[in-house]
A and B are shown apart, each in its own frame.
Chain A
């Protein structure tokens, strides 16, 4: 009886291992969903889509003006000598945005509100009046950011110059 149990146990373990390997090998890459066009009006430019995607990934659940503010930070960076001069350069700068680093930017699907926010930011609305940085004080951040001049807090984000 004991031997039979050992046999079943080993087989179970092997099956688990194989399933695990298959899952890890096949499932993880499959999780990288392709960017969708959901909610993006077809006539709008590529920049709106790029900005909306970042806003959705960075400011999910934030008040509307907080989403516009995240878009405005990207555009303020484009206009600043401290950052790359293009929207894509700013967004894909290494470690500039957590959602680009951890891949969340590729997983967002609902871009409806984020798209309106991106459009408002591109049209010049800037609830931060020139912020270059934002962070969530509840999460661990580089101590360096606290040396910046804080402009305001909107929702969960602090905006600074």
Chain B
């Protein structure tokens, strides 16, 4: 009898302990659920209000008759659309991909930014641009209305963001529970409203302009490849020659994979014949058999050569690989390697779009990395116009509190893939260095880059 009494006490105590632990865990879980629910609600209402405000700003921009006001309103519409895009991409919508809505918001932001800059330069909007703008405004209004109807579900908690994070039951008990008779997709998805809106936004006509999200850029094709296609043995031969030159060793091919990206390539894996733990990767274009990229991830020891010697090595290597006149522009130390960015040159004009990166190991001067993707995407024979302004006329435009340190002609890419001939003016504001680019034909300021000095090189931002 005594034992039984003990037993019941112990059992009771452990039951109480288990229950209180369970309650504690539940309280914890609820705190997290509320936090998650709150962040989902915040993203949704941010999205809704930014879309509404963006529609209003677009409308105002369409009716404004002042250039300055139009530019300001377009910038506002752009920021609001970009904010909406940020909010929608952080909204938990599992299993559905709102690609149409996201792209619509990002593209509207980008297009408004492009138009704002155009207006700010004193140009007026074309008939087509006004039409595009009012079409975007209409779509923004439709999106706002759709989000409003979803808002009803959100407010009544028919959509609960936190519920999407719950763990799913393992498949076996779930099948038993559902008796496998109920088809999985029978109930309407709680996010059905988003899906319908998105389907519509996916079918919008394309928008072409000078900005990074313009539709014409999706079809960008490489300019710099020789037209004739090469077969795999030729590609392998080119790859081995390049890699052996770069590393000063002999490689063996271990595998070839097709790569069907912007530049279709043979992706070739290599291994050092003498040191089987050293592997490298090289991509050779199917068209022309050019070396597009090379990476040798070996561990690099303590630096034994300086940056100047490394630069000479990189320049000589590019020359030996048959590249035209290339000049080093920026360089940066990364660990025990030095990365040089080279740009092509045509009659004293730096061609920034035609870029090649070379990575040199500072322990023995070996080339451990090479990337010519930008070069082969952009390089072609260009018929460059003669500048209409002189360097002197351009430097006169620089604000007087800046110190001008040098001027040279440079071809720069715009966000939308256009190329502009400019004067690159290096200036100093106190101790900080800025590059200012002036259009060589119109004198318009096109772009500003800030140079940030880091140990062993510079970054541009």
Contacts and interface: CB of A to CB of B under 8 A. Distances in A.
A81 B258 CA distance: 27
A35 interface: no
A129 B371 contact: no
A74 interface: no
A124 B371 contact: yes
B322 interface: no
Contacts of A84: 85-86, 89-90
Interface string A92-121: 111100000000000000000100110110
Contacts, number: 139
Interface residues of B, number: 60
A123 interface: yes
Nearest to B11: A10
Given A81-B213, A89-B90, A94-B94, A125 B260 contact: no
Nearest to B260: A151
B334 interface: yes
A126 interface: yes
A96 to B, nearest CB: 9
Chain A interface size range: 35 or more
Given A4-B3, A11-B10, A130 B86 contact: no
Contact of A17 (B17, B82, B86): B17
B contact patch SS: mixed
Contacts of B10: 10-11, 14
B18 A21 contact: yes
B262 interface: yes
B33 interface: no
B24 to A, nearest CB: 7
Contacts of B454: 43
Contact of A151 (B213, B259, B332, B335): B259
Contacts of A83: 89, 102
Interface string B316-350: 00000000000000001011000100000000000
Contacts of B131: none
A36 interface: no
B95 interface: yes
A153 B257 contact: yes
Interface string A128-152: 1111000000000010100001111
A21 B14 CA distance: 10
Given A81-B85, A94-B92, 4 more contacts: A81-B110, A127-B283, A142-B95, A152-B259
